[in-house]
Amino acid sequence: MYRLLLVSDQKDVLEAFEQVENWEFNGFRKPHIRHDLEGAKDSLLKHHADGIGVAMKNAEDRGAIFHFLQEHYPQIPIFEPGRTVKQALEYLAELRQTLNWLRADYSSDTYDEQNVMIKARRYFFRHLVGGTKSYTCDQLFRELHLLRSRMNPNKPCVLIRAEISDWEDQSPGTSYDTDHLLERELYQSIGGDVKGFHVLPLVTNDGQIFVLAGSLWEEEQTGKLNEVLDAAIQEGIRHAEEYQGLHLRLKEYRVLPSIYALCSDYREKA
């Protein structure tokens, strides 16, 4: 059974959780409930949590809790609690599925929770940019928190399509727990954090190459998106060619208003 912490001061959220029946049937122990940051800190010191739900009236209070969790508990999925019993059960089912992925039997490997979370995030982003799974804006919001992505979906991002030649291993990745070798090679040259932005190379199962880049939560951007990323990606391309023998060519370069623009129900503001 997975263990939960709910941090909320909102009446409808608390009532919805009180009305959930048979927590064990849904795969969870009855959650610990706290109402502020100090209560959350105390609970996490005393009790293990596999998932943390956060719903606060005040945006500053919510931000403080997220900042604390990012600093001290960056691997624990954060779930939306839901404001009705139906919503709560739906979102808990999403959390359970994510936890099942993260806690699957990796007995043939040395289990590392951080690496498994990274693999799960890459699996999600491959499907998002490749269009092989459709996400609504609400689903995207929940997935980013469940997988503890540091990418800020509210700010502009860049999506690049690329192609590569002279690559010996063209076999696609098969699942979230098996990283594509080419993707790992590209990440060494192009990927990573740069001046408050994150650059993420992705190789989909049908062999398409994408680079998704955007702002990081709570990081200060020290330059304009296009200028910073153009310089970083061009330097990465030179590095890939010189040191890895990878000849990368950009086919399409799109500046998107936000990561939400990749969702099926996205409507750009007028």
CA atoms of 236 and 32, how far apart (whole Å): 46
Domain contains 128: no
Residue-averaged pLDDT of the chain: 88
Does residue 163 form part of some domain?
yes
* Token pair 């706290």: residue: 34
Domain end point (choices 102, 121, 147): 102
Is residue 269 assigned to a domain? no
Say yes or no: 96 and 163 in one domain: no
> What CATH number did the domain enclosing 43 receive?
3.40.50.2300
Comparing 223 with 69, the larger pLDDT belongs to 69
Residues 139 and 98 in one domain: no
Regarding whether 187 and 68 lie in a shared domain, the answer is: no
pLDDT tops 70 at residue 134: yes
Asked if pLDDT for residue 268 goes beyond 80, the answer is no
Two tokens, residue 31: 């959650």
Same domain, 170 and 242: yes
pLDDT at 185: 86
* Residue 38, domain member (yes or no): yes
30 falls within a domain = yes
Q: Which residue among 57, 77, 102 closes a domain?
A: 102
pLDDT at 182 exceeding the cut of 90: no
Confidence at residue 203, expressed as pLDDT on a 0 to 100 scale: 92
Q: Examine the domain organization and report whether 177 and 240 are in the same domain.
A: yes
Note whether residue 97 is domain-resident: yes
Residue 9 burial (C-beta neighbours within 10 Å; 0-12, 13-18, 19+): middle
- The reply to whether 150 and 244 lie within a common domain is yes
Q: How far is CA 241 from CA 183, 187, 195, 203, 236, in A?
A: 15, 13, 23, 18, 9
**Would 122 be classed as within a structural domain?**
no
Whether the predicted pLDDT of 140 surpasses 50: yes
Same domain, yes or no: 151 and 196: yes
Domain region containing 91: 4-102
CATH number at residue 195: 3.30.70
Binning pLDDT at 50, 70 and 90, where does residue 102 land? confident
32 & 148 share domain = no
Are 96 and 143 within one domain? no
Q: How many domains does the chain have?
A: 2
Alpha-carbon gap, residue 165 to 173, rounded angstroms: 18
Residues 86 and 152 grouped into a single domain: no
Pairs from 222-227 (Cβ < 8 Å, separation ≥ 24): 222/195, 222/196, 223/195, 225/156, 225/157, 225/158, 225/197, 225/255, 226/158, 226/255
Name the β-bridge partners of 32.
5
Tell me: the pLDDT tens digits for 212-253?
Answer: 998 998 777 777 888 888 888 889 888 888 888 888 888 999
Alpha-carbon distance of 114 to 76, in angstroms, equals 10
- One domain, residues 161 and 241: yes
- Return the DSSP state at 190: T
Which range has the worst mean pLDDT, 17-21, 77-81, 215-219, 234-238?
A: 215-219
Using pLDDT thresholds of 50, 70 and 90, give the confidence band for residue 171: very low
Examine the domain organization and report whether 97 and 147 are in the same domain: no
- Residue 229 within any structural domain of the chain: yes
Q: Choose between 107 and 182: higher pLDDT.
A: 182
